[in-house]
Amino acid sequence: MAKRALITGIAGQDGGHLAKLLHEKGYEVYGVIRGQLESSHPRYQQTQNEMPYVKLVLADLLDLAALTRAMQEIKPDEVYNLAAISHVGYSFKDPIMTADVTGKGVLNVLEAIRLAGLEKTTKFYQASTSEMFGGLDYNRPEKGYTEESSFHPRSPYGVAKLYGFWITKNYRENYGMFAVSGILFNHEGERRGPEFVTRKISQAVARIKLGKQDRLELGNMDAKRDWGYAGDYVEGMWRIMQQDKPDDYVLATGETHSIREFCELAFKETGVDIEWQGTGVKETGVDKKTGKVLISINPDFFRPSEVDLLLGDPTRAEKELGWERQVDFPGLVKLMVEHDLKEEASKA
């Protein structure tokens, strides 16, 4: 009999990649989608058209009754909890909802599994994050954060995720559940939401190339991130769930790059060389050939506190899971810009 997987956050970036992977591996895939959606609703239809092999289940992460019903009916072998308010900047604006969904929502899913009497048979994956480390100098190992590093979250999102991480570990220890976290560093791609910086850049580069946009406005360009490809990371999630012993793993590339570097490579894909001029909020990215300003700073995108540098050390995942990223940093930028050039060109 085919294994059954239930994915929360099915309509998000990782949900789509993971659903495809599990379907290809022969799983029966169920996906939790929120809201009062009916099969005639455009958003429901869009998700269903994109993933015809997924059986959509209506539930909200705040709704324990709906989650419990879903567990009782589906009896999944594996639950992947990907749903969250996942935008770090937004979490400063709505910290209460972030705590409820991104933090307590994890507990709801774990309790739903227990209330359905499935804690001994259903495996649980929690989408934990490098944002829990915080990026400050004092706890940052030279070769990158590992599974042993200490946490110092710097946003309401990071704090909520830390609750999710610990409650997952707690259920593993309390009830002997196979409940694990993947501590994933940033992963991007053609399914990334446009509110995240990499997709904002790749879409802007495509639109500027096609004459649909003049300029790209960004916040802190000094920040550095360990960026991988989402398609590679969902393979890691699955491998974490196939281990004999439940444990937490870091998935990362072991490289870190600045927002500036991402911009330079992305514009280069369309034949534009960027030259940086000025400093601070007056800094601009200029087309070397034409002198036109293509990038400028908008302080509205600054955050009350910033994670300056994230770098992960994937050694343990590489050794124990045999996991390795396939797409490198230039490959990721290229893939995103090429995708957005096609997508923008196809729009009216």
Task: Give the active site residues.
Answer: 129, 131, 157
84 binds ligand NAP (CB under 6 A): yes
Choose among ligand NAP, ligand F7E, none what residue 85 binds, the Cβ cut-off being 5 to 8 Å by kind.
ligand NAP
Query: Could you give the residue ranges of the DSSP H alpha helices within the chain?
Result: 13-24, 42-50, 64-74, 88-93, 95-98, 105-115, 156-175, 197-209, 230-241, 259-268, 315-321, 329-346
Q: Which residues contribute to the site for ligand F7E (CB under 6 A)?
A: 86, 88-89, 129-131, 185-186, 195-197, 200, 218-220, 223, 225, 259, 301, 303, 306
Q: Which does 301 bind (CB under 5 to 8 A by kind): ligand NAP, ligand F7E, none?
A: ligand F7E
Rounded Cα–Cα distance for residues 84 and 132 (Å): 15
Count, in order, helices (H) and strands (E) of the chain. 12, 15
> Which residue, 60 or 131, has its beta carbon nearer to ligand F7E?
131
Q: Which stretch binds ligand NAP (CB under 6 A): 60-68, 106-114, 211-219, 328-336?
A: 60-68
Which residue carries 């899913």 as its tokens? Answer: 109
Among 5, 6, 7, 11, binds ligand NAP (CB under 6 A): 11
The three-class DSSP label of residue 322 is coil
Cβ-contact 75, 116 below 8 angstroms: yes
105 vs 285, beta carbon nearer ligand NAP = 105
Q: Which residue is nearest to ligand F7E, using beta carbons?
A: 223
Interface with ligand NAP (CB under 6 A), residue from 6, 14, 286, 329: 14
Binders in 86-105 for ligand NAP, by CB under 6 A: 86, 101
Closest distance of CB 131 from ligand F7E, Å: 5
Nearest CA-CA partner of 158 in 326, 307, 315: 307
Nearest CA-CA partner of 231 in 331, 319, 307: 331
- Write the DSSP assignment of 33-85 as a string of letters: E-SS--TTSHHHHHHHHH-TTEEEEE--TT-HHHHHHHHHHH--SEEEE--S-
Look at residue 82 and give the partner it binds from ligand NAP, ligand F7E, none, a contact being a CB closer than 5 to 8 Å depending on partner kind. ligand NAP
Binders in 179-238 for ligand NAP, by CB under 6 A? 184, 186-187, 193
CB of 211 to ligand NAP, least distance (A): 29
Q: Assess contact for 270 and 188: CB atoms under 8 A.
A: no
Q: Which is nearer to ligand NAP, 179 or 274 (CB)?
A: 179
* Per CB under 6 A, 82 contacts ligand NAP: yes
Q: 3-state DSSP call for residue 218?
A: strand
